[in-house]
Structure 1
Amino acid sequence: MKTRTTTHQRGDGWTCWLLYPLVALAAWAANPQAAAPQGTAAMKAPPAKTIYRIVHLSPSANGPFDINGKGQVAFTEDVGNDRTMARFYDGTTFSNLGTLGGAGSFVNALNDVGQIVGGSNFSLESTDTHAYRWTAQSGMVTLHTPPYNFATSAAFDINKRGQVAGYLPFFGPVFEPLHATRWSPENVPLDLGTLNGPSLAMAINEAGQVAGNTRNATDRGLAFHWTEAGGMVGLGTLGGADSDSVAINGIGHVAGHSATAAGPTHAFLWTPEQGLTDLGPRRTDADSFTVGMNDRDTVVGIIRIVDGPYRAFAWTRQAGMKDLGTFGGRSAYAHDVNQPGQVVGSAETRDGASRAFVWTGAEGLVDLNTRIPRAPSGFVATAARGISDNGAIVADSNAGLVLLVPTAATHVAPTVGPIRRSGGARVDLPLSVSAGFVDADPGETHRATWSWGDGSKDEAGVVAEKNGAGTASGKHVYRAAGLYTVTLTVTDSSGQSATVHRSVAVCGPGAYVSGEGSFISPPGAVKGNRNQSGPATFAFLSEQQADGRRAQGKAFLRFGVAHLRFDSKRFDSVTAGGARIAYRGGGTVNGAGSYQFTLTAQAAADTADGKQRLHMRIWHLDAATNREVVDYDNQGGPNGQDGVGLRYSSQRATTSNATGSGMLTWE
């Protein structure tokens, strides 16, 4: 997910949102071709509502991405074995960006001419990542400068001129800090310096101005603005200890957030003329975090109310900070804004489910699911994460990462909905699965291929279809308990295909507890990057809790959020009672290290507000001090087993005894 905003230029075919009259003259309604009365303007029909078609990007995207002004997308895909790979969709075809010689890669930014920057492992033996630039002509080229090959460098942003913002190890003694760096289009690095300690260049505009973060005199974070004429200038704070820059726009204004003198964190806008402007909120029990801005100084972000919900906001000079609302639920999150001022994000419904939205001043909050007339059965867009200036939207869905395109097309790949299963998944018993699909070309025929994730051979599915819509189904028998990834690929008769997958918890013959689902990870949950928010997924399974405490049989947990994947290696305790289950144990993050975790899941029957909740907390012990260091906490509290966490959208969570009856079922 994006942790900074690239300033995109206007793309072709961008949508202009217009205010229109709500009341029409009765005579005009009866005869729209009649001339308007003398002295009045002819009234026009309201603009048609924008509708979208679905393009599948990835069934397993997990990490940063970017969308440019043309609607092209660079994204990071989970390819298994704790590896991610950078991908690019140019509007027609997909490209694998490869690596710098190591096991994986990821993307951070994409400009309007199709150049991509990010990070990649440079050898199979090292976990360090080096900054790269990728073009279709030259492929992936390192931006890392010798001799510190073992150190990490990063490229966070790129403008249309090909200038790149990031950081390199300081060109001096090995243990000097990292320095903010701007690379030329010819990949020549320029050290931007530092004010005190390490510095990071996070965002760059078309003029080559840079916004980033360094350290202040008290060794706290400090936002900075850099120009060729003025060098690095610290932006100060809103009276508190630290500040962070997130975005820079085309006129050199910087948006971010800062601690205030009263304690909360507030979003800010910085200009050379006015310095830092506190954007609010006015209430004293809330923080606000910036996630993006455009060239009109529209700043969007998230309000976090203490002991309460999260809300999406858009700030303008004319209206100040505006709460964008919800779909009847408590929380909402803004993720991006484009140059025309469309804001995208996710908002809760009355039952706590997450829905992708687009917001404009003219229409307000719109559920994008109401604007996809040809969606396959069961498809739900849960969070809109990025928007192009031409109106294309990158969204998370229950069928993977998708691109919602506001133009019709034929001769395109089919669209596949989420994989559904019938009944429980038990060892040695057939598991039935199915998914719906639609095709813009009703004359196409389709075939389905199922991959079961247990080492068995792929199998052809059964397809039932008519007039461009249908269902693909399959059956499989698993021989061992565990968490498996079931994958479906639907291919049309012209050779174009779409792929979806889902986790399945397969249980043994005894009692078990299992769950699969997703939720929106809030700002501050990933402790290494408090700006980051976005979708997180989870799956858990434990069997035979005979003594009500320890897992006597097998137990598994898999949890993932951008750039952080946790896999359990041991369970110290599993407690289940009524509508609540709590896990505690240890495992790895991204395939390495020694980490501890707690997970608490509650069904609606066990919560005060009648909503299901999930609290995930991951931490490790510092080798030098032996003190606890929190790596992830979606609540932020010190106790990982208090059962109070974030509401989530669960695909399935059940408990059962040997006869198949259950104490709790979440669907």
Structure 2
Amino acid sequence: MQQPWSSNAGLRTHLIAGAVAGALAALAAPVAVWAGEQAAPAAADALVSSPGDTEASRARTCIYSVINLGPEAGAAALLNERGQAAFGSFIGGGITNGFFDGDRVHDIGSLGGSYTLIHGLNKQGVVVGESEDAEQFSNILAFAWTVGGGMHALPGTTVSSARAINDRNQIVGQRPAPGITARAVRWNPGGAVTPLGPLPLSLSEADAINQQGFSAGYADVAGGAIHAMLWDRAGNQTDLGTLGGTLAFGEHINERNEVAGESDNAANDKVLGFFWSRDSGMVQINVEGGGSRLVAGLNNRGEVVGDTVIGERSVAYQWAMGRGVVQLPSGSAVSSDVFDINNRSEMVGMIERPAGDGGGRRAVRWPALTEPIDLNAHLYRPPAGLVLEAGAAINDDGVILAHSNAGLVMLRPGTRGTDAPVLGPLLGLPDVIEVGQDLALTVGFVDNAAAQTHTASVAWTDQCASPAPTVSEARGVGQVRLRHQFCAAGYYTVKAQVTDSGGRSTAVQRDIVVDASGLASLSGKGTLAGGGAAAARGYRDLPLHFALWAPLASGTQSKSAAGSPVVMLSGPFHFRSDQVSTAASSGQQARIEGTGLLNGRAGYRFVLEAWDGGGKQGASPDRLHVRVTHADAATGVEAVDYDNAAPAKARTALALDRTAVAEGGLRLRN
């Protein structure tokens, strides 16, 4: 499967199917940090099952047990064929990463620093990505991790990233090369490294790999354009080109060595989906909206799924060479999005219901090209208040990862999940919380062992005193009651944990913004409508997610009577503030400046300019201008890493206003 989900729109993440537990011990060695070669995979046709009426019927009658995995998985949500998962969450101003082995969740940790991003998962349960080490001048290094062996850096120095791994434990990504920023490479079992393609002008990267060792990605070429690339098992390069523009990225590859991805059009003002094969060359995916908001996945049948925008609504589609584009049925939904497809042509995503139908997002599954199934209607003993908002990934056995109001959950076909309690969301949190406000929250839970008893604990990161939680329960169904008063304004996290009498625990947590009467502040959490008009080379045109809170100097008002400011950005990169030097407002506008870490590395400056649209019917949307820069080491000149309001030659997904807050919102208090 290719898993592109990010909390509210697409991370391009390649994930590989399946699992074999016996290879985990191979990662314990300090140098050979992944397992040895395995038998060659079966032919592509043998990996494909034909969908039919029986499968469609099964999909519509299937019941799923729910397993809590972790907080919102905005950084990554990866699933393999064994029903294991790896996930990353932006929570509490940082990133947490976990691995679910089918029964329990394990912390992935880091190489000693404070930053880890995960990108790939294979059937052995090997997780790969990039992590900060503990050196004085920290490095960001590619890593491989398993439950038994922990985390080990892959061969390379300074700045490298492992982007994908196949079931033969071949890992692809990029690492520095003499005279250039990065070169696409493959780390082979045993430690040898294979350079992919000739040395690029300045950068190349491999982002996906199949079981045969063929990989896809991108590289820059003469003239400065970036082309989609294919590399064979020997590292030989095939230039896939572009659809007429100057940027193209190979994002997904299947077992027939077909590639799907995105490319600019000839005017460089629109992003288009493409499909490539040896026979067809690069073919544009012609969707009605004219461009792709997201190319989400490619299966072994050569079927591509993605999203476009028609008018102002997102529309999910499936494409195949002989059939062309088919819009996925969505009934009366306001919009639809698809995020994964398996080899049975089953897809998962979400629909947004109209206000007359209750509104809100619902996680759905499409059994082939049929009407979507609301997964919320097929849950076995769900806890109180649980709402599944989007399907993120699906494997060939029908196991699903889904985003919910209680965080990331796994949906396992059948009525048996794990022995741990299943928790619903924190209920009772108001949209606006004030210092001193008396909060009364509840968390519902269920347990498959009806005779067990449960205890609860809670952690509020403002460190203010609160009474202990209380638990009421009967026959495996219960409720936790929490009370709290925040004693200072700021950006905080609440974490509630339920433990059964067998020693199994489950937790849910939420970030919370607390305001104070008389204190000027800017807060918000959400997603910007499009990618950056100006961005460092190689950054994808992904939506930008933000979470922020900062006290503001308004007139003579001091900003010292509150907690520490937080600015966190994620999508095409991850940014976390370490210092805010200026935070002020005038009318409905605010400006915040400071420094922070871009993908774990210090020395970057940011400027945020925010406009509060008022949040009323017919009002202008909230807007957020984001600019991240650094000083060039050689010249000292300011270099732009990201700017979502840069003029002219703006590369956008569909000519959207990139500063508009599409999901969530901003709140400015003067």
Aligned residue among 263, 268, 274 for 1:268? 274
Contact 1:15/1:390 (CA < 8 Å) preserved in 2? Answer: no
Aligned residue number for residue 85 of structure 2: 73
Inter-partner Cα distance in structure 2 for 1:537 and 1:177: 27
Q: Does 1:348 align with 2:352?
A: yes
Any stretches of 5+ residues in structure 1 without a counterpart? 23-44, 658-667
Moved more, 551-560 or 273-282: 551-560
Deviations 1:516-552 (A, max 9, x none): 65458756699566647579463547589689x9989
Contact 1:106/1:118 (CA < 8 Å) preserved in 2? Answer: yes
Moved more, 114-123 or 525-534: 525-534
Q: Which amino acid aligns with 2:126?
A: Q
Aligned residue number for residue 105 of structure 1: 116
Deviations 1:84-134 (A, max 9, x none): 354211101222233333334232111112122111222243443111222
Quickly say closer, same or farther: Cα 1:437–1:600, change in 2 above 3 A. farther
Q: Does 1:240 align with 2:240?
A: no
**Secondary structure in 2 matching 1:125:** coil
Aligned residue number for residue 285 of structure 2: 279
Q: Does 1:361 align with 2:365?
A: no
Deviations 1:369-409 (A, max 9, x none): 23224322222222222222222222222212222222221
Aligned residue among 432, 444, 456 for 1:448? 456
Shift of 1:349: 2.2
Shift of 1:75: 1.9
Deviations 1:157-199 (A, max 9, x none): 11111111112222xx4x3342211121112101123363221
Inter-partner Cα distance in structure 1 for 2:363 and 2:323: 24
Contact 1:635/1:646 (CA < 8 Å) preserved in 2? Answer: no
Aligned residue number for residue 564 of structure 1: 574
Aligned residue number for residue 207 of structure 1: 212
Inter-partner Cα distance in structure 2 for 1:543 and 1:434: 33
Moved more, 415-424 or 555-564: 555-564
Deviations 1:25-61 (A, max 9, x none): xxxxxxxxxxxxxxxxxxxx87752222221111254
**Secondary structure in 1 matching 2:75:** strand
Contact 2:554/2:585 (CA < 8 Å) preserved in 1? Answer: yes
Aligned residue number for residue 187 of structure 2: 183
Alignment of 1:410-489 (within 5 A): 412-421=419-428, 425-456=433-464, 460-489=468-497
Shift of 1:318: 4.0
Quickly say closer, same or farther: Cα 1:9–1:95, change in 2 above 3 A. closer
Quickly say closer, same or farther: Cα 1:622–1:483, change in 2 above 3 A. closer
Quickly say closer, same or farther: Cα 1:315–1:385, change in 2 above 3 A. same
Q: Which amino acid aligns with 2:13?
A: R
Alignment of 1:492-507 (within 5 A): 492-507=500-515
Inter-partner Cα distance in structure 2 for 1:636 and 1:54: 47
Aligned residue number for residue 308 of structure 1: 312
Quickly say closer, same or farther: Cα 1:279–1:47, change in 2 above 3 A. closer
Aligned residue number for residue 221 of structure 1: 226
Aligned residue number for residue 44 of structure 2: none
Q: Which amino acid aligns with 2:15?
A: T
Inter-partner Cα distance in structure 1 for 2:437 and 2:15: 50
* Cα RMSD (Å): 3.8
TM-score between the two structures when normalised by the length of structure 2: 0.80
Contact 2:289/2:308 (CA < 8 Å) preserved in 1? Answer: no
Shift of 1:501: 1.4
Inter-partner Cα distance in structure 2 for 1:318 and 1:93: 43
Contact 2:260/2:304 (CA < 8 Å) preserved in 1? Answer: yes
Quickly say closer, same or farther: Cα 1:328–1:595, change in 2 above 3 A. farther
Q: Does 1:89 align with 2:100?
A: yes
Contact 1:77/1:86 (CA < 8 Å) preserved in 2? Answer: yes
Moved more, 291-300 or 136-145: 136-145
Inter-partner Cα distance in structure 1 for 2:570 and 2:329: 25
Quickly say closer, same or farther: Cα 1:60–1:126, change in 2 above 3 A. farther
Aligned residue number for residue 39 of structure 1: none
Shift of 1:262: 5.4
Q: Does 1:138 align with 2:149?
A: yes
Aligned residue among 381, 384, 390 for 1:374? 381
Aligned residue among 7, 12, 17 for 1:3? 12
Quickly say closer, same or farther: Cα 1:297–1:222, change in 2 above 3 A. same
Q: Does 1:53 align with 2:65?
A: yes
Q: Does 1:383 align with 2:390?
A: yes
Q: Which amino acid aligns with 2:498?
A: V
Inter-partner Cα distance in structure 2 for 1:643 and 1:267: 20
Inter-partner Cα distance in structure 2 for 1:336 and 1:636: 34
Percent identity among equivalent residues?
A: 27
Shift of 1:430: 3.5
Contact 1:213/1:224 (CA < 8 Å) preserved in 2? Answer: yes
Alignment of 1:601-616 (within 5 A): 601-602=612-613, 604-607=615-618, 613-616=621-624
Aligned residue number for residue 600 of structure 1: 611
Aligned residue number for residue 25 of structure 1: none
Q: Which amino acid aligns with 1:398?
A: N
Inter-partner Cα distance in structure 2 for 1:227 and 1:410: 40
Inter-partner Cα distance in structure 2 for 1:405 and 1:343: 16
Aligned residue number for residue 258 of structure 1: 263
Deviations 1:252-281 (A, max 9, x none): 111112223355332111111221111112
**Secondary structure in 1 matching 2:114:** coil
**Secondary structure in 2 matching 1:419:** strand
Inter-partner Cα distance in structure 2 for 1:358 and 1:634: 36
Inter-partner Cα distance in structure 1 for 2:643 and 2:393: 24
Inter-partner Cα distance in structure 1 for 2:74 and 2:137: 21
Which entry has the higher C-alpha Rg, 1 or 2? Answer: 1
Q: Does 1:322 align with 2:334?
A: no
Inter-partner Cα distance in structure 2 for 1:648 and 1:334: 17
Question: How many equivalent residue pairs?
Answer: 611
Shift of 1:247: 0.8
Contact 1:56/1:402 (CA < 8 Å) preserved in 2? Answer: yes
Aligned residue number for residue 176 of structure 2: 169
Moved more, 153-162 or 389-398: 389-398
Aligned residue number for residue 547 of structure 2: 538
Any stretches of 5+ residues in structure 2 without a counterpart? 1-5, 21-47, 651-656
Aligned residue number for residue 32 of structure 2: none
Moved more, 469-478 or 318-327: 318-327
Deviations 1:566-607 (A, max 9, x none): 44725544356xxxx543212444484320112334455243
Aligned residue number for residue 53 of structure 2: 19
Shift of 1:249: 0.4
Aligned residue number for residue 617 of structure 1: 625
Shift of 1:136: 3.8
Q: Which amino acid aligns with 1:430?
A: D
TM-score between the two structures when normalised by the length of structure 1: 0.80
Q: Which amino acid aligns with 1:276?
A: M
Inter-partner Cα distance in structure 2 for 1:337 and 1:478: 44
Quickly say closer, same or farther: Cα 1:344–1:636, change in 2 above 3 A. farther
Q: Does 1:648 align with 2:660?
A: no
Moved more, 529-538 or 348-357: 529-538
Contact 2:365/2:375 (CA < 8 Å) preserved in 1? Answer: yes
Inter-partner Cα distance in structure 2 for 1:643 and 1:189: 39
Aligned residue number for residue 40 of structure 1: none
